[in-house]
Structure 1
Amino acid sequence: MTTPTGPRPRSTLSSSRLSTTGALALGVLVTAAATLGAPALAAQETPPGKAVLEVSDTRTVTLVTGDRVTVTSRSGQPSVLAVRPASHTSGNGSFLSFQDGSGDRYVIPAVAQPYVGRQLDLSLFDVTALAKGTTAAGRVPVTVSYARGAKPSTPTGLTLTSTSGTSARGYTTAASGRKLTRLLKQRIAADVKAGHRPGSTPLFTGVTSVGRTGASTKNATAGGGASAKYKLNILRITAEDRSGAGFNGQVLVTNTDDATRMSVVVPVDDGIEKVAVPSGHYSLAAPVVDFDASGNVTAQSLVTLTDLDVTGATTTDLDARTATAQVTAATPRPATADYAAATWGRTDVTDVADGSIDWAPTASAVTTDTTPVYVNPQPAATTGKVAYFTQWSGHGPATGDPYRYDLAGRLSDAVTADQRITVTGKQLAAVRQRYVRDPAASPDGIITSGELGPGLPAAFSAAVPQTMPARVTDYLSANNGGVWVQQSFPGTSLAFTSGDRPFTAGRTYTQDWARGPIGLGLGQYTRGPFGGSDCSACLADGNLLAYLSTTDSEADHDGGPSVYDEQPAAFAAQLYRDGTLLDDRPGNTAVYVDGQTAPDARYRLVADQDFSGDSTLSQSTTARTELTFGLPSANDTHSLLPAPFTCEGQSASTPCRVLPLLTARFDLAADDLNTSHRTTQSMGLDISHVTFGGAGSRAAITSATVEVSFDGGTTWQKTALHGSKGHYRARWSNPASARGSSPALRVTAADADGNGLTETITHAYSVAATTS
């Protein structure tokens, strides 16, 4: 029986906040998930009085099974997760997920579910904690506990580094995790063949548990539990899979009067769990997995119970056989499913009353292949509210006209008996996607898509393989407002994320990914960079923050390393005021200082990114951006940051203003490997200011130059530049001596207020060995 203790605070989605550490040192948490994989700005050893900056953004973590999850946070909480199975062979593409009352999210490969809470601790799958950690080369640190008297041995898929008594420490990697997955499937297959419940056979001999090093045990609880100050009742939960047998897994139990009283993931052992809970109203959610005799997943069932009254000893049943509604789609053109998900979010009475939409806790069933996902019909909530929605993605046949569908079902407070997403061509937006890659990169890329909308629970996005380069028409639904976020992992250690983009049904759009030259700068964000509403180039109450990210040709794309601890990338940023160094941040591309109120001060920001040590990149290997600027005027209404954007120091008396920083976007005439086959080269150039919701400097762009170097930056030659007001086209010649090489580019620009930009990119593009 599980008796959770210690209620946790309600999970809230707060904006960035300023706090003090030590006597004078300031600590700033800036949620800048806009930059997928941009260098994390970790707190450093800092003298008193100097700002310490920490940025929470998107990271890719490796699970003990070798699978990978890209975690993107909004205001410090996980928002969208893209799962990438270690293998796309049968039975390896299914996952389940929970988010507890504290906001931590757990992603569990379906093949591991029968052993989670038994020999595999739930902490191993806490992707929130994994994303906050720093480990070498994608390793997951683990601690192994042995039974008393058992001889310590090395479990399959683990590497041990030390042993002491009845415990040992070590780690897993992506490669070793695949060995663990094979063992899991073998054990499950043996159980199914013997007529036993999957997970009945011990995974490791003599091992009581394997958990993440440094984590408290999660086998009993994952989230807020019931406090001793409440009178407790015994809730008996029974659960069956689709064959009618009791299953080994987990169930999410939530108090819908007040989730801080109890929000807990409890283990179900042989189809039964008893948990002590306060009297009140509850909801239950359990992703149930079924297996065949080969250990492959044959189905997932997200079984939920919207309302349950507990006033004394209570028994309830979660039966996967009641999950009769399959998540499917009817599309205008033929398509084969490559992703399906059902997500159940549950709020309590307090959330509904105060209008907050954090939708914690949640439970999801996700498949990245053709494995079916089923749900059981449930009415609308009578206590609190349900936020339930589905997503389905599929690709068309391998023809000369590649296309795919990314569809989301309508957000609902009820689970209906019909889970088919039906759309017509008029209900879809067509996005012509151009996926570019570096010549040195692998052609095996990944793309993701997820719809965002008011009230949608923190959810998964479809992550599917995509051979690159490629041109694909992506049809997107608009059932929940049509705001989508998409990502591209173009076979390199770089990845790019779009801003929150609204797509209107019936319209056609174009979008390029990783199209070079790849630079370092800012952008124009209609609804904010992906990951939240925090301004990454703003000033309020003397607090000045500027955060640069890796850029491609799209104005609202941000990029950076997709797996931090495995990439040899280097970053640096410095901020000067009137020639005096104010902030110096090795390893970062952002600066933060407070006390900036002098209206006539002149600033210079220098930021560097260096991917020259990365074998997956041969182009745009380094970039340096220098920005000169002044503070926005108190009379400049155009720079006032609009809602819902926020920034540090903002209040009713101290509004936030967007800094007048210049940024460049390039439109190079090249193929889908960023390679030019031309003797006469051309490139479009847009010079503008960073904007958020349209707010930003309106100063006219007064000058621009483009220079090219064919000798690594030793000498430069100006190009012919035509255009005005920030819109230009440059032309130059690729000489015969440049064939098979990668020239450098340098762009300079200025506006009428004296703000300036210089951006230098080495190996900016490739010149083909033969040109025309």
Structure 2
Amino acid sequence: MAALGIAGAVAAPSSADATPTASASVPAVGGATSRTVTLVTGDRVVATTVAEKTRYTIDPAVPGDAAFQSYQDPQGDYHVVPALAAPFLGTALNPSLFDVTAQLRAATTAAESDAGADATTGAAAEVSPQSSARLVAALRQAVGADVQAGRRPGTTVPKLTGLPAAPRNDSAEPAPDAAGYPQRILQVDVTDRSGKPANGTAFLINTDSSLKFLNQITINDGVDRVAVPAGHYSIAFNAQTFDAKGNVTSVYALTQTDFTVPATGTVPDVVLNGRSAVTFKVATPLAATSQLANVLWNRGEATQPTTSAAVAVPDGGGGTMPDPSADISYQALGNIPFGMNPQPAPKVGTLSVEAQWIGGRGSYRYDTVFPATGVPDLSALRVTAAQLATEHDHYYTDPASPKQGGVEDLPWDYANPQPIAGSVVVPQSLPADVTEYLNVLPQFEWVQQVFEGDAIAFLGDPITPAAGSTTSIDWGRGPLAPGVGQHTLLPGATSAYSDDYCGACVAGANLSMNFSDFDDSTPGQQGNPNYAGGSPLAVNSSLSVYQNGQLLGTTPDSSTVSISDAPATGAKYQVSYTTSTATAQMSQSTSSDTTLAFSSTPAAEAGAALTPLGTCVGQSQSTPCLVLPVLNIGTQLAVSEENTAAPGAETMGLDIGHVSYNGTGSHAAITSAAVQVSFDGGKTWQTAQLSHTGAATSGDYTAAWTNPAADTGVCPSIRITATDALGGSIDQTVSNAYEIVKGA
């Protein structure tokens, strides 16, 4: 019997009052895994790892105004600190509570099942919506009292009860510090934006070598003194302001690209003036209000460490990162302004800055990014119409889903990738039609993700739109069904922002295949449970695989097939995949049944070799990836943006093709197709009228049928079957594919 490995998904927790802080690893798409950390404040962080690179998505607990600082600490751990929690770090709140990497490490230990264990066990702590709400209220009360009394925020000790234990930091590498070097005393003086002594934290890095010094320091009442070795340095300070109710009113960062600590003589103070910070705002062709400021500041050393000195540390998501740099991101959502002082490019070492700004009004939104080797004047940035690509986004939704969703737009400089990058989910009401304007830059690509409530996340293939171009994209348009898809890979696809793994390939004896559970009508868009949500969607699934008529295995809660000893001469396969879900947030596409038949001998067909931009399990220079001739279904059902249709005539565009990557894959002729519709839960079926819209064997059709009159909603099921000239076939049924509603 062939060796069959099947990767399964993890069911969502059943209790709304006790959600593990860190989830176990769950397959996303291809070679990706996604894991979720819920901070004690209720904010969620999703770590997605692809090709040993991890990206982080921050989903605020409450849509609206929010602010965070995220950074890589000297040990390589990734932290996300809400602005409200920052004044209490190291006093009322253990900084490890916001160490995402430590939470993920803890979730993979044997103590994972004991979420309430003591921190010394390395287990993840438990939080719940109720405990998070109590904590946030206590922090706001304490900060508000300090503001009213004119005290430094964080002076009042909040009344915290039931605070979970912080995870243990098990990183093997010690923090680079001044030990072993002659010491000089450096004084750092900081004033806030009103000219008063500031309070906050700062990262200090030796830019000759971060192994000499890279640490976080605390600025209290405008000053800190620290012992450091002589050399070249850089510093980044951040702080936040509050009102009398404990609400965050602004966040700002102050940096100095270069300064020197001399080996002899007087050490000059480093002076950071808060009044030099300018508010981040982009001038746009149409008036726009800020929705997100997201600034990455990555400061590196002058010389790369030798192999023996390099520090390769786990990034917590399953990947690794290089020797530590000062890698910090500042995120401000909604009406919270973000300010930063301009600074030149470095004289010693490297500096990469990516300033992303999203703003809009009503039905339009600008998404802009400005890369630089110094900190630009963030108040003087602008985009013109000639620099923009226009994208008309149509956000579909399930009538049962919450009307509040979110969007995530990720700019990725694949020519100059950063070691860590974080992004934030921007609130978006659903359904909606939004015109998005993206600024176009060389060697930048955009990856977009749309969150339909807490249920489903739709991830699109990376795009590089041309300036002046106009496109239209549907998100979440049903029926939603399992699939592998037809994808476009770009030069930067081998990143934590996208997935270059082939979802249906064979390389030598290694055959791999992966389903997404809820693919929508747009090619390349993959729908999967939203692990950023507070209550991740539980999908019950079963996967059966046959090789030359022999059952290799049937596994529940599984979406990925990996066969390590596929016959060299090829074989015939049948894969059956069923899914079902029961949740109050979904009334449509609630179950599916998909059966595929194909052969693993695609080499005889021209164009089967996977594009060089992709990869697969088992690939080597002598063993190329070949795309399996797996049939693929694309639909364009005529429905409203709540996936509803009126009684009477109904149509659906139908595209039968094959799994492909940049066009590589099978191009075998489509020999048959059929569509059936059931209005009684599958008891009886009606055959739809099918007409060609292209060549007879192209696989392009229009299906037509009649929706019956209905006083209350009727949710039809749709069954699609097709065959190709290679003997391959697909048979897919989606239950509750859409809803018939009068007046839709």
User: Which bin holds the TM-score, normalised by the shorter protein?
Assistant: 0.7 to 0.9
Contact 1:345–1:362 (8 Å) recurs in 2: yes
1:731 aligns with 2:704: yes
Distance in 1, matches of 2:462 and 2:56, equals: 12
Q: Please give the residue correspondences for 1:164-563 in structure 2 after superposition, counting only pairs within 5 Å.
A: 171-204=126-159, 212-216=165-169, 225-226=175-176, 230-231=180-181, 233=183, 236=186, 238=188, 239-259=190-210, 263-268=214-219, 271=222, 281-309=232-260, 317=270, 319=272, 321=274, 323-349=276-302, 361-396=326-361, 398=362, 402-409=363-370, 411-454=371-414, 455-457=416-418, 458-481=420-443, 483-527=445-489, 531-549=498-516, 550-563=518-531
Contact 2:177 2:214 in 1 (8 A): no
Deviation at 1:109, TM superposition (A): 0.9
Q: Which residue of structure 2 lines up, in the alignment, with residue 5 of structure 1?
A: none
Report how far residue 381 of structure 1 moved.
2.2
Whether the aligned pair in 1 keeps the contact of 2:38 and 2:127 (CA below 8 Å) is no
Q: Is the 2:236–2:255 Cα contact (8 Å) retained in structure 1?
A: yes
8 A contact 1:223–1:265 mirrored in 2: no
The verdict on how the C-alpha distance between 1:222 and 1:176 changes in structure 2, with shifts beyond 3 A counting, is farther
Matched AA of 2:290: A
Are the structure 2 counterparts of residues 54 and 527 from structure 1 closer, same or farther at C-alpha, using a change threshold of 3 Å? closer
1: CA distance between counterparts of 2:541 and 2:166?
A: 29
Q: Which amino acid aligns with 1:443?
A: K
Q: Is the 8 A contact 2:545 2:576 kept in 1?
A: yes
Q: Does the 8 A contact of 2:397 with 2:641 survive in 1?
A: yes
Change beyond 3 A, Cα 1:461–1:677: same
Distance in 2 (CA, whole Å) between partners of 1:544 and 1:624 is 22
SS in structure 2 at match of 1:177: helix
Paired residue type of 1:366: Q
CA-CA distance at 1:234 after TM superposition:
5.7
Task: Single out whichever of 506-515 and 629-638 deviates more from structure 2.
Answer: 629-638
Maintained 8 Å contact 1:482/1:503: no
- Classify 1:214/1:428 alpha carbon distance in 2 versus 1 (closer, same or farther; 3 Å): same
Cα distance in 2, alignment partners of residues 756 and 261 from structure 1: 62
What is the correspondence of 1:623-662 to structure 2 with a 5 Å cutoff?
623-634=592-603, 636=605, 638-662=607-631
Encode CA deviations 1:182-213: one digit per residue, 9 max, x unaligned: 211221122233332211222347x9x96655
Match of 1:117 among 90, 105, 111: 90
Measure the CA separation in 1 of the matches of 2:540 and 2:685. Answer: 25
Whichever residue aligns with residue 239 of structure 2, its letter is V
Secondary structure at 1:449 match in 2: strand
Quick check: 1:116–1:249 contact (8 Å CA) kept in 2?
no
How far 1:254 sits from its partner (Å)? 3.7
TM-score by length of 1: 0.81
TM-superposed CA distance for 1:274, in Å, is: 5.7
User: Would you say the 8 A contact 1:71–1:82 is kept in 2?
Assistant: no
Please list every run of 5 or more consecutive structure 1 residues that lacks an aligned counterpart in the other structure.
1-24, 32-39, 45-52, 146-162
Letter in 2 for 1:556: G
Which 10-residue stretch deviates more, 714-723 or 227-236? 227-236
Cα distance between partner residues in 2 of 1:637 and 1:30? 33
Structure 1 residues 746 and 266 mapped into 2: Cα distance closer, same or farther (>3 Å)? farther
Of residues 640-649 and 518-527 in structure 1, the stretch that sits farther from structure 2 once superposed is 640-649
Counterparts in 2 of 1:60 and 1:216: CA distance versus 1, 3 Å: closer
Question: CA–CA distance in 2 between the matches of 1:713 and 1:285?
Answer: 62
Q: 2:724 is matched with which residue: 751, 768, 771?
A: 751
2:564 is aligned with 1:594? yes
Secondary structure of the equivalent of 2:705? strand
Given that residues 647 and 708 in structure 2 are in contact (C-alpha distance below 8 angstroms), is that contact kept between their aligned partners in structure 1?
A: no
- 2:49 paired residue number: 73
Distance (Å, rounded) in 1 between the aligned partners of 2:24 and 2:610 = 23
- The SS at the match of 2:558 is coil
What is the CA–CA distance in structure 1 between the aligned matches of 2:140 and 2:350, rounded to whole Å?
38
Residue 589 of structure 1 aligns to a residue whose secondary structure is: strand
CA offset digits 1:629-682 (Å, max 9, x no partner): 222444555222233322222221112222222211210011111111141211
Change (3 A) 1:323 1:689: farther
Question: In the aligned structure 2, how far is the partner of 1:421 from the partner of 1:477?
Answer: 12
Q: In structure 2, what is the Cα distance between the partners aligned to 1:85 and 1:307?
A: 37
What CA deviation, in whole Å up to 9, does each residue of 1:230-277 have, x standing for no partner?
536466463443345555543334444454666544555555556666
Tell me by how many angstroms 1:741 deviates. 0.9
The question of whether the paired residues in 1 share the 8 Å contact of 2:5 and 2:562 is answered with no
Q: CA deviation at 1:324?
A: 2.3
8 Å Cα contact 2:571-2:601 kept in structure 1: no
Q: Which residue type is aligned with residue 508 of structure 1? A: T
CA contact (8 A) 2:7 2:558 kept: no
Instruction: Give CA deviations for 1:483-516 in whole Å, capped at 9, x if unaligned.
Output: 2122222235112111111111111110011100
- Matched to 1:403, the amino acid is Y
1:705 and 2:655 aligned: no
- Taking the aligned partners of 2:687 and 2:722, their CA distance within structure 1 comes to 13
Q: Percent of counterpart pairs with the same letter? A: 35
Distance change (3 Å), C-alpha of 1:114 and 1:487: same
Deviation at 1:281, TM superposition (A): 4.2
TM-score by length of 2: 0.84
Cα contact 1:524–1:555 (8 A) shared by 2 = yes
Distance 1:470 1:168, change over 3 A: closer
Say if 1:169 and 1:383 are closer, same or farther in 2 by CA, change over 3 A. closer
Change (3 A) 1:594 1:232: farther
Equivalent pairs, count: 696
Cα 1:43–1:677 shift into 2, 3 Å = closer
Superposed CA RMSD in Å reads: 3.9
The within-5 A match list for 1:12-51 is none
Q: Distance in 1 between matches of 2:113 and 2:471?
A: 40
SS at match of 1:337: strand
Q: Is the CA contact 2:231–2:263 (under 8 Å) kept in the aligned structure 1?
A: no
Whole-angstrom distance in 1 between the partners of 2:252 and 2:302: 27
Which letter does structure 2 place at the counterpart of 1:493? A
SS of the counterpart of 1:189?
helix
Bigger mean CA offset, 674-683 vs 313-322 = 313-322
**Distance change (3 Å), C-alpha of 1:141 and 1:344:** farther
* Contact residue 177 and residue 212 of structure 2 kept, 8 A: yes
Query: Separation in 2 of the partners of 1:494 and 1:367?
Result: 25
Q: Which stretch has the larger CA shift, 299-308 or 506-515?
A: 299-308
1:170 to 1:406, Cα distance in 2 relative to 1, 3 A = closer
Q: 2:81 is aligned with what amino acid?
A: I
Q: In structure 1, how many angstroms separate the alpha carbons of the residues matched to 2:114 and 2:471? A: 41
